[in-house]
């Protein structure tokens, strides 16, 4: 084996002759095969020639890339492609089992392909599926959930197909978001506000925001102009701006994320209040290293200090940085679908874990059940306590970690979990089973971790009965899944 091949060094796979000889014959074969691929790609790049392949696109991945197969059987992940396209692609990365590339020419366009409504959003990565017809997006989202059940939870393919319902579509494929978030920076031209450029440095500042609802149509431009005027050539210390707007209540909130320390509160509040009709302007002060910042405090600069939204006939007052679903209409469908399947009755003991501001907690309590709402994020706990007091429903709001609090709740008739993307800890799945609920509703934003946890529940005596995708995020690969697990045996009697 030639250890002086430059591609080894280019790919961080350089091996000395003794190291190569120490490998098993099977591994040596893999290494030699990979060296050919790497050397070929490297030489093509140095000669300025693209590595071109003609492919037929099969499906969309759980991500912005589409999937095809090379003639040698390797999977190809291709940016900018649509299922059914016949395309010419430039292979930019080659591995033993897969390659990556992007479309250079569309040889034959798929009937599922549509013209992108917001081409600039492709540069930002916020609308990665906008070139795919919406009806096909729904099919692909369901297929990705089925695939994760088969791959991760090891559910039989036929059973997985029968369990997963069609994806519930959004009435608004565009203009559905009640919240827009922007990155901010100060450069030679002054204050900038927009989206991080996908795969590159810098911020893109689009003129339109087609995913934002009508309530947010004019707000980003007004906020950007006001802060740019106020900053001049100075750095205001703002690194993120969040804008929430409700089509139902007309409430509008601007949240400015900064490091702790001095901040021109009065000037910022006055300038923004003159620029747009905001019902609330707040500053979220944070501390810590970038990527691990923690909220140190929230200051009300103008107005109420919270954003109002109505969902399932309930008015919510949400204070930054509390989480709330970005698609209000589809969030209602998510709640309705989940509660219909969970079928909670009056007098039931129910735990709502990772309950947030009470999106599910309040509707659950309206059934007459006694509900424990468990949430660790302090601002969300405060918001839920406020609405629980206003409604006088039978809710115990518990501020704390779900894994720690659940064992103290005793027997439960039903449990609802809506965890973050990382899903549930294995110990929490066991604790839920020990509480003895006959049904568990699991709402998830990540099909892979959800499928992993489905397998854990089935090992604890539960069976996945149904799963329904709900599209809260058209034009993107993201999807919510609401599912029901029924107890078929009790491992803890």
CA distance 442 to 416: 6
User: Concatenated DSSP letters for 400-465?
Assistant: S-HHHHGGGS---SEEEE---TT---HHHHHHHHHH--SEEEEEES-HHHHHHHHHHHHHTTEEEE
Supply the residues annotated as catalytic.
445
CB distance 383 to 358 below 8 Å: yes
395-399: strand order across its sheet: 395-399, 370-375, 349-353, 414-417, 439-444, 480-487, 462-470
Nearest Cα neighbor of 169 from 471, 436, 485 is 471
The 3-state DSSP class for residue 282 equals strand
- Which residues in 294-413 belong to E strands, given as ranges? 294-303, 307-311, 314-318, 349-353, 370-375, 395-399
Nearest Cα neighbor of 102 from 131, 143, 135 is 131
CA distance 490 to 493: 6
Cβ atoms within 10 Å of 492's Cβ, excluding its own: 10
């Amino acid at each position: 084996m030639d250890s002086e091949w430059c591609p080894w060094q280019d790919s961080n796979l350089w091996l000395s002759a003794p190291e190569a000889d120490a490998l098993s014959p099977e591994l040596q074969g893999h290494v030699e095969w990979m060296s050919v691929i790497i050397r070929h790609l490297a030489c093509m790049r140095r000669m300025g020639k693209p590595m071109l392949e003609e492919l037929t696109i099969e499906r969309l991945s759980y991500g912005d890339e589409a999937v095809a197969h090379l003639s040698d059987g390797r999977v190809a992940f291709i940016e900018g492609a649509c299922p059914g396209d016949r395309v010419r692609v430039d292979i930019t990365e080659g591995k033993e089992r897969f390659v990556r590339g992007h479309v250079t020419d569309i040889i034959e366009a798929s009937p599922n392909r549509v013209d992108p409504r917001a081409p600039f959003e492709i540069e930002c990565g916020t609308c990665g599926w906008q070139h795919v017809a919406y009806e096909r997006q729904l099919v692909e989202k369901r297929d990705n959930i089925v695939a994760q059940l088969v791959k991760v939870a090891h559910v039989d393919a036929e059973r997985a197909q029968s369990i997963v319902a069609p994806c519930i579509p959004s009435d608004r494929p565009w203009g559905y978001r009640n919240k827009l978030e922007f990155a901010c920076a100060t450069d030679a031209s002054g204050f900038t506000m927009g989206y991080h450029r996908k795969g590159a440095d810098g911020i893109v500042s689009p003129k339109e925001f087609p995913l934002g609802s009508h309530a947010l149509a004019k707000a980003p431009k007004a906020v950007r102009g006001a802060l740019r005027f106020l900053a001049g050539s100075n750095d205001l210390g703002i690194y993120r701006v969040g804008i929430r707007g409700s089509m139902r209540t007309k409430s509008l909130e601007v949240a400015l994320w900064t490091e702790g320390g001095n901040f021109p509160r009065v000037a910022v509040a006055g300038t923004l209040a003159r620029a747009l009709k905001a019902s609330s302007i707040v500053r979220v002060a944070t501390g810590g290293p970038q990527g691990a910042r923690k909220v140190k405090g929230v200051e009300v600069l103008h107005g109420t200090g919270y954003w109002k939204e109505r969902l399932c006939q309930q008015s919510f007052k949400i204070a930054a940085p509390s989480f709330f679903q970005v698609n209000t209409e589809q969030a209602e469908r998510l709640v309705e679908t989940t509660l219909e399947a969970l079928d909670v009755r009056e007098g039931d003991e129910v735990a709502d874990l990772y309950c947030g501001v009470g999106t599910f907690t309040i509707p659950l309590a309206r059934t007459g059940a006694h509900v424990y709402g468990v949430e660790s994020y302090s601002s969300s706990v405060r918001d839920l306590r406020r609405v629980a007091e206003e409604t006088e429903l039978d809710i115990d709001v518990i501020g704390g970690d779900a894994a720690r609090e659940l064992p103290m709740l005793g027997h439960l008739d039903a449990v609802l979990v809506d965890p973050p993307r990382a899903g549930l800890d294995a110990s929490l799945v066991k604790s839920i089973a020990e509480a003895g609920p006959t049904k568990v509703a699991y709402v998830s934003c990540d099909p892979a971790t959800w499928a992993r946890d489905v397998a854990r529940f089935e090992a604890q005596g539960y069976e996945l009965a149904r799963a329904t995708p709900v599209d809260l995020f058209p034009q993107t690969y993201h999807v919510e899944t609401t599912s029901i697990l029924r107890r078929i045996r009790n491992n803890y009697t």
